[in-house]
Amino acid sequence: MASVSIDSIHKNYGATSVLRGVSLSIADGEFLTLLGPSGCGKSTLLRILAGLEMQDAGSLSIGERAVDNLRPKCRDVAMVFQSYALYPHMTVASNMGLPLRMRRLSTFQRLPLLGRLLPGTARIAAEIDAEVTRTAKSLGIGHLLARKPGQLSGGQRQRVAVGRAMVRHPAVFLMDEPLSNLDAKLRVQMRAEIKELHQRLGVTFVYVTHDQAEAMTLSDRVAVMLDGELLQVAPPQEIYADPDDRRVAEFIGSPKINMLDGVVRERGLIDVAGSTLAIGADALAGAHLTLGIRPEAFHLAERGGQGVLTGSVRMIEHMGSDLFVHFDLAGGDHPLIARLLAERAPDIAPGQTLHVGVRPDRVLLFDRNGRRLRQEVESGRASVTPIREVAR
């Protein structure tokens, strides 16, 4: 068990800067997910943490111990790879036992035939076998120990890879997109198993993924990375509801958040797409802002007016309890998506005019650089109530 601290890590490949001063501290026993699109540097950060690559600058410590100059095997971390990286010529038992054999047996004891004759080898080998069997049983792969990886299904290989990491009780688990090679159904199942594993073992997990569903469901905290920088590190709910950066807001959430350009008319009022919303922004009159509105922050309104956006319906996606309504604002350059309750909006048809109200407290404001502008909570709240009355 150990905490992890990452201090201003830099990494370049030639002229390309992959990590630009990433700092992060991970608490003992925490499940932290590095989330970002491919090429954002999340895997590189994980590999640096594992010791498979060296950082160009910055320092790392695991459990109060600086590990910058330690080889991977000395860092007390175990890694699960996207490809599982199982040794194809070894049985499941040998695959899982390898980390223990490498640690507990000497070079001579590991020799193919001679090693068995040396004193102690048989006893240690029996201990290793027992531990491997116990771990395999706890993962439900006890019956597969004699098979080779080529004879296993994707989910079984995944479990073997996890077992190989578990068997030596590492202080930190590193997982590099471990579920991305599985089909959708299995992915959901293995996601639950990984969550359960974390709760059972109670050790620190660092998990890399580009899948926001995995990040949101598994993590204690999510670290969103983009272009080699950490944009925000926060619990999943906070990442979703209270993003610090426009790019975080756009990366998280499906369907994607709607982005609208607006201009501050006066304190507490913003002009947007031919309508006016009562939102308290910490900005001067005339300032250009971007409004981020999650699809579920819209609700159906009967007529246009203040706090209501009007557009024409382009397309409707039925999702059972919800409708995803794609609509074009007059003069808007890209369609917006509203997530409406199906029972409240039974007869919307493409081509029809749509009025949607916006909850001002759910609107996220960003300045022109993409930084979040917090709403002035008191004045914002004060103006919320009448608008909502109008909308209903």
Partner 1 sequence: MSEPLALTGAPNEPSATGSVRTLPPSLAAAPARRRAFTEALAAWALAGPAVFFLLALFFLPVIGVFVIAITDWQFGGLTLSFVGLANFREIFADDGFRASLVNTIVYVLIVVPGTLVFGLLIALLIESGKSCRSFYRAIHFLPFMATLTAMAVAWEALLHPTIGLVNQTLAAMGLPTANWLRDENTALPVLAVIGIWQNLGYAMVLFLAGLKSIPQDLYDAADTDGADLWLDRLRTVTLPLLGPVSMFVVIVVALRAFESFDTVKVLTQGGPGHASEMLLYTLYRESFEYLRSGYGAAVAVVFLAIVVTLTLAQVRLMDRRVHYQ
Of 89 and 137, CB closest to partner 1: 89
CB of 114 to partner 1, least distance (A): 14
Question: Binding residue for partner 1 (CB under 8 A) from 3, 81, 154, 388?
Answer: 81
Listed residue (324, 315, 325) closest to 350, CA to CA: 315
Q: Give 113's Cβ-side CA count (13 Å radius).
A: 0
Min. distance of Cβ 13 from partner 1 in angstroms? 15
151 counts as binding partner 1 under rule CB under 8 A: yes
What does the alpha-carbon distance between residue 281 and residue 304 come to, in Å, rounded to a whole number? 23
Nearest to 228 by CA among 26, 56, 21, 371: 21
Among 65, 103, 116, 381, binds partner 1 (CB under 8 A): 103
> Measured from the CB of residue 90, what is the shortest distance to partner 1 in angstroms?
8
* 99 binding partner 1? (CB under 8 A): yes
DSSP string, 309-364: EEEEEEEEEE-SSEEEEEEEETT-SS-EEEEEETTT-TT--TT-EEEEEE-GGGEE
Looking at 89, 134, 368, 371, which residue binds partner 1 (CB under 8 A)?
A: 89
Q: Which residues contact 345 (CB under 8 A, 6 or more apart)?
A: 300, 323, 325
Report which of 20, 24, 19, 27 is spatially closest to residue 7, judged by C-alpha positions: 24
Q: Total residues at the site for partner 1 (CB under 8 A)?
A: 29
Kindly tell me which residue out of 36, 41, 149, 360 binds partner 1, with binding defined by CB under 8 A: 149
| Residue number, 29 or 72, with CB nearest to partner 1 | 72
Question: Using the rule CB under 8 A, is 132 a contact of partner 1?
Answer: no
The site map against partner 1 for 50-79 (x = CB under 8 A) is xxx------------------xxx---xxx
Residue whose C-alpha is closest to residue 246's, from 339, 365, 336, 358: 365
Determine, following the binding rule CB under 8 A, whether residue 249 of this chain makes contact with partner 1.
Answer: no
User: Which positions from 28 through 47 interact with partner 1, judged by CB under 8 A?
Assistant: 47
Rg (CA), the chain: 26
The Cα–Cα gap between 346 and 179 comes to: 38
Interface with partner 1 includes 179 (CB under 8 A)? no
Q: Which of 10, 20, 148, 355 binds partner 1 (CB under 8 A)?
A: 148
Task: Compare residues 82 and 379 and give the one whose CB is closer to partner 1.
Answer: 82
3-state secondary structure of 260: strand
Examine residue 255 and say whether the peptide bond preceding it is cis (omega within 30 degrees of 0): yes
Q: How far apart are CA 192 and CA 197, in angstroms?
A: 9
Does 382 bind partner 1 (CB under 8 A)? Our answer is: no
Site for partner 1, rule CB under 8 A: 47, 50-52, 71-73, 77-79, 81-83, 85-90, 98-99, 102-103, 107, 148-151, 164
